[in-house]
């Protein structure tokens, strides 16, 4: 996810901005840039790839005396990771950096282009600087021009803007993306999208709230709320450890990433939901023309997302769908016909087996699509179309938020197929869109639930194995739950369709066999219940995840329960992630770096 820094003061802006950006490297990025206003003139530098490239480009540059500067590391969401798309973005005499997504950027871009504004990049961010300058050109004063600009943009943002029209000032705004302002005894001002960029520079900081905007000068920090009322700054102290700042107070990156799922799913949905339509601007409108079948292919967790979505493609999109494990597809001499859309799913976009199947499908003349978290990755470059999942970098080796955003995109894409092939009416699509909008709140972690799972975890540290069982779309979720547990706890776990247990695995049933039963009342509850009863009759230990009390459960993890099974899916996903993590923590394992595993598997 992108990072922002800003500086106003008499020290070297360049050094402070670059140091700040290097503290944000852990968030992942594909390009970086800075812009510094000194003695009435801007200097700006951008570079694709690692920060060293930007450091090399700025080697000859420095400032002496007062300057203002802004910097950014970009994780591409709108537009490729190129130098042109890297921030800061320039108008005539102002620069902007932005984290988040401007939902109405297309309509704003149209209006501004009609007014003669020339857009250089493919980003949504560039509208901010042109909008600001178009207000300046109408004769509006800079503070008011910034205020109007922020009130006109919709979506999630943290914005910094510097302008020659007010050369001793940095403007800022925040809504849905973090932004912190800091100061010190020398009255320098600092900005960071995370604590880590500010530690060591500031004595006190202000954690901005949503809908706040304002500006800083050498003598002032001005903040106002949505209604334009001035807000007295509330100062706080910064944490001291940079590593714990990067983990934002969580014990592990995995835990932070589980808690981040609500935000990243919101980002994934942004701009893609109309009132009764799904909007994927990034794919060609004729992608589905002549397509009669979908083949999904992936590895590991991404394979589980593929398998789960196959239920949605057939149920909602009424399109024949098959799912393949990439390492298997490569050598099975598959029948690939050009009426098939070949979809690969990959967090990294680099997994060797998945990439090879993509190339294979292209050679066979199939149309291809990748659902991926990393722009400019090998798969994104190779496929005919790409939909980015916008999860930001995932540091925990065991995938959590990447899976959550894959599922969100796949659900939307199944609806996109339904709307294109008219297998659902606008009314039924509208109902599904309303459900999608609920997902960010469904995946928010309630403290009492987390505490309950932490306490429960102590009962599940031994035994001779775990069976995660579920039916329908809860079967792939059971597979994913089992994978999470084995990856980080090193306990043996398997995922099974509930109805399959009696065809062999039930032979293992005894009190030391732990069954994690996924039992939402919205999906084949009675059927699953009889399967679980068969296990409990053979004395297996049952941990039921359900919104309905179940007398045969040894432990019940009580769900909130929802009106639709897809919302149950996301709720159970979070429960399984937290349960695995708490078991692994009790066993003393390094949850973020499990043994024998790598984040990106680029060998066969
Ligand atoms: C499990 C996990 C792996 C990956 C798999 C594919 O937590 O992360 O199973 O899902 O290695 O990786 P990507 O999605 O990068 O292709």
Residue to mutate, 252, 254, 301, 407, ligand 1, most ligand atoms under 8 Å from C-beta: 301
Prior bond to 88 cis, omega within 30? yes
**Rounded CA gap, 225 and 110, in Å?**
29
Final residue of a domain: which of 241, 274, 301? 241
CA of 602 to the centre of ligand 1 (A): 11
Distance CA 488, CA 467 (A): 16
How many residues are listed for the chain in this entry? Answer: 604
Whether residue 542 contacts residue 535, with contact meaning beta carbons closer than 8 Å, is answered with yes
Q: Are residues 475 and 580 in the same domain?
A: yes
Give the closest residue to 365 by CA, choosing from 387, 336, 329: 336
Same domain, 422 and 470: no
Given a cut of 90, whether residue 156 has pLDDT beyond it is: no
Q: Let me know if 297 is a catalytic residue.
A: no
Q: Is the CB of 299 under 6 A from ligand 1?
A: yes
Helix (H, G, I), strand (E, B) or coil at 207: strand
Ligand 1 atom, smallest distance to 402 CA: 14
426 & 293 share domain: yes
- Say what percent of the chain tops pLDDT 90: 82
| Number of other residues whose CB lies within 10 A of the CB of residue 472 | 21
Task: Specify the DSSP class assigned to residue 13.
Answer: H
Q: Which of 221, 241, 261 is the last residue of a domain?
A: 241
Residue 459: pLDDT band by 50, 70, 90 thresholds?
very high
**170-175 and 94-102: which strand pairing?**
unpaired
399 lines ligand 1 (CB under 6 A): yes
The single residue listed with the structure tokens 């196959």 is 310
**H or E segment at 513?**
strand 513-518
Residues 398 and 500 reside in one and the same domain = no
267 and 393 share one domain: yes
Residue 123 to residue 76: CA distance in whole angstroms:
9
Residues 53 and 192 in one domain: yes
Of 299, 324, 596, 603, the residue with max ligand 1 atoms within 8 A of its CB, to mutate for a pocket test, comes to 299
CB 346 less than 6 A from any atom of ligand 1: yes
Tokens of 312: 């949605």
Residue 77 pLDDT class (50, 70, 90 cuts): confident
Same domain as 480, residue 342: no
- At 386 the pLDDT is 96
Distance 372 CA to ligand 1 centre (A): 11
Of 5-14, 231-240, 477-486, the least confident: 231-240
Q: Is residue 326 part of a domain?
A: yes
425 and 474 in a single domain? The answer is no
Q: What is the pLDDT of residue 1?
A: 63
Nearest-atom number in ligand 1 for the CA of 348 is 15
pLDDT of residue 588: 96
Phi, psi of 155 (to 5 degrees): 125, -150
* 573/570 Cα distance (integer angstroms): 5
Q: Torsion angle, CA of 236/242/248/251, rounded to 10 degrees?
A: -130
Kindly state whether residue 347 falls inside one of the protein's structural domains: yes
Residues 36 and 168 placed together within one structural domain of the fold: yes
Ligand 1: distance of its center to the CA of 302 in Å?
A: 6
Instruction: Tell how far the Cα of 299 is from the centroid of ligand 1, in angstroms.
Output: 6
Active site residue 543: no
Nearest-Å Rg of the Cα atoms of the chain is: 25
- For residues 24 and 151, membership in a common domain is answered with yes
* Whether residue 54 is found in the same domain as residue 191: yes
Is 600 contained in some domain? Answer: no
- For residues 31 and 101, membership in a common domain is answered with yes
User: For residue 248, how far is its CA from the centre of ligand 1 (angstroms)?
Assistant: 24
Average of per-residue pLDDT across 107-117? 95
CATH of the domain at 65: 3.60.20.10
- Given ligand 1 and candidates 252, 253, 302, 382, which is best to mutate, with the most ligand atoms within 8 Å of its CB? 302
Residue whose Cα lies nearest atom 3 of ligand 1: it is 300
pLDDT at 79: 75
Our measurement of the distance from residue 385's CA atom to the centroid of its chain's CA atoms, rounded to an integer in Å, reads: 19
300 Cα–ligand 1 center, Å: 5
Alpha-carbon gap, residue 461 to 586, rounded angstroms:
8
Integer CA distances (angstroms), 10 to 55, 64, 172, 197, in order: 20, 7, 20, 18
CATH number at residue 293: 3.40.50.10490
Nearest protein CA to atom 16 of ligand 1, as residue: 346
Question: Using a 6 Å cutoff on CB, does residue 63 contact ligand 1?
Answer: no
- The pLDDT of residue 74 is above 70: yes
The answer to whether the CB of 347 is under 6 A from ligand 1 is yes
* Residue of the CA atom closest to atom 8 of ligand 1: 399
Q: What is the pLDDT of residue 334?
A: 94
* pLDDT over 70 at 527, yes or no: yes
Residue closest via CA to ligand 1's atom 10 equals 301
Q: Select from 226, 241, 256 the last residue of a domain.
A: 241
The Å distance, Cα 347 to ligand 1 centre, comes to: 7
Tell whether ligand 1 has an atom less than 6 A from the beta carbon of residue 352: no
φ, ψ for residue 132, nearest 5 deg:
-60, -50
| Ligand 1 and 169: CB distance under 6 A | no
CA of 348 to the centre of ligand 1 (A): 8
**Catalytic option among 164, 242, 318, 599:** 599
Q: Which alpha helices (DSSP H) does 443-564 contain, by range?
A: 447-456, 474-489, 525-537
Q: Is the pLDDT of residue 159 over 90?
A: yes
Whether ligand 1 lies within 6 angstroms of the CB of 301 is answered as yes
Work out how many domains the chain is built from and give that number: 3
Could you tell me if residue 596 is inside a domain?
Answer: no
Q: Quick check: is 174 in a domain?
A: yes
Q: Higher-confidence residue: 36 or 100? A: 36
Side-chain half-sphere exposure of 301, counting CA atoms within 13 A? 26
Arithmetic mean of pLDDT over the chain: 94
pLDDT digits (tens, 9 = 90+) for 303-344: 999 999 999 999 999 999 999 999 999 999 999 999 999 999
Q: Which of 2, 297, 372, 543 is catalytic?
A: 2
pLDDT of residue 354: 97
In-domain check, residue 603: no
Sign of the four-CA dihedral 320, 324, 330, 333 = negative
pTM of this structure: 0.82
Residue 380's domain comprises 245-443
């Amino acid at each position: 996810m992108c990072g922002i820094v800003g500086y106003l003061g008499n020290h070297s802006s360049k050094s402070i901005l670059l140091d700040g950006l290097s503290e944000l490297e852990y968030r992942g990025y594909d390009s970086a840039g800075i812009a510094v206003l000194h003695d009435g003139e801007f200097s700006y530098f951008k570079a694709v790839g690692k920060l060293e490239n930007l450091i090399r480009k700025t080697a000859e540059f420095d400032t002496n005396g007062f300057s203002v500067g802004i910097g950014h590391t970009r994780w591409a969401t709108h537009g490729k990771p190129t130098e042109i798309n890297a921030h800061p973005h320039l108008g005539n005499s102002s620069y902007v950096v932005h984290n988040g997504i401007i939902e109405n950027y297309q309509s704003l871009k149209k209006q501004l282009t009609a007014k003669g504004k020339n857009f250089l990049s493919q980003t949504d961010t560039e509208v901010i600087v042109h909008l600001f300058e178009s207000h300046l050109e109408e004769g509006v004063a800079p503070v008011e021009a910034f205020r109007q600009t922020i009130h006109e943009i919709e979506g999630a943002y943290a914005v910094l803007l510097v302008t020659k029209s007010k050369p001793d000032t940095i403007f800022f705004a925040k809504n849905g993306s973090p932004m912190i302002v800091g100061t010190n005894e020398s009255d320098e001002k600092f900005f960071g999208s995370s604590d880590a960029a500010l530690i060591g520079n500031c004595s006190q900081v202000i954690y901005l709230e949503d809908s706040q905007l304002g500006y800083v000068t050498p003598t002032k920090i001005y903040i106002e709320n949505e209604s334009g009322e001035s807000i007295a700054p509330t100062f706080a102290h910064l944490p001291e450890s940079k590593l714990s700042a990067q983990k934002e107070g969580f014990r592990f990156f995995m835990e932070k990433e589980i808690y981040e799922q609500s935000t990243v799913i919101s980002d994934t949905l942004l701009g893609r939901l109309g009132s009764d339509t799904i909007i994927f601007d990034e794919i060609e409108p004729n992608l589905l023309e002549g397509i009669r079948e979908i083949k999904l292919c992936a590895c590991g967790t991404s394979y589980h997302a593929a398998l789960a979505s196959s239920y949605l493609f057939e149920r909602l999109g009424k399109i024949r769908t098959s799912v393949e494990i990439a390492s298997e597809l490569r050598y099975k001499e598959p029948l690939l016909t050009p009426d098939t859309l070949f979809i690969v799913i990959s967090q990294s976009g680099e997994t060797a087996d998945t990439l090879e199947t993509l190339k294979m499908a292209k050679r066979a003349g199939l149309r291809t699509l990748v659902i991926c978290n990393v722009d400019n990755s090998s798969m994104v470059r190779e496929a005919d179309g790409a939909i980015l999942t916008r999860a930001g970098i995932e540091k925990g080796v065991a995938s959590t938020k990447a899976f959550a955003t894959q599922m969100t995109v796949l659900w939307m894409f199944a609806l996109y197929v339904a709307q294109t092939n008219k297998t659902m009416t606008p009314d039924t699509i509208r109902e599904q869109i309303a459900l999608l909008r609920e997902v960010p709140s469904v995946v928010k972690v309630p403290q009492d639930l987390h505490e309950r799972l932490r306490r429960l975890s102590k009962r599940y540290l031994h035994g001779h194995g775990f069976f995660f069982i579920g039916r329908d779309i809860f079967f792939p979720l059971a597979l994913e739950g089992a994978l999470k547990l084995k990856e980080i706890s090193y306990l043996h776990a398997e995922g099974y369709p509930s109805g399959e247990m009696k065809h062999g695995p039930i032979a293992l049933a005894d009190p030391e066999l732990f069954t994690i039963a996924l039992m939402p009342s919205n999906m084949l509850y009675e059927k699953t219940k009889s399967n679980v009863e068969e296990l409990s009759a053979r004395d297996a230990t049952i941990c039921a995840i359900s919104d309905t009390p179940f007398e045969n459960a040894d432990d019940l993890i009580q769900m909130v329960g929802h009106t639709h099974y897809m919302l149950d899916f996301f709720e159970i996903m979070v429960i399984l992630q937290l349960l695995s993590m708490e078991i692994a923590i009790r066993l003393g394992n390094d949850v973020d770096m499990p043994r024998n595993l790598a984040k990106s598997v680029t060998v066969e």
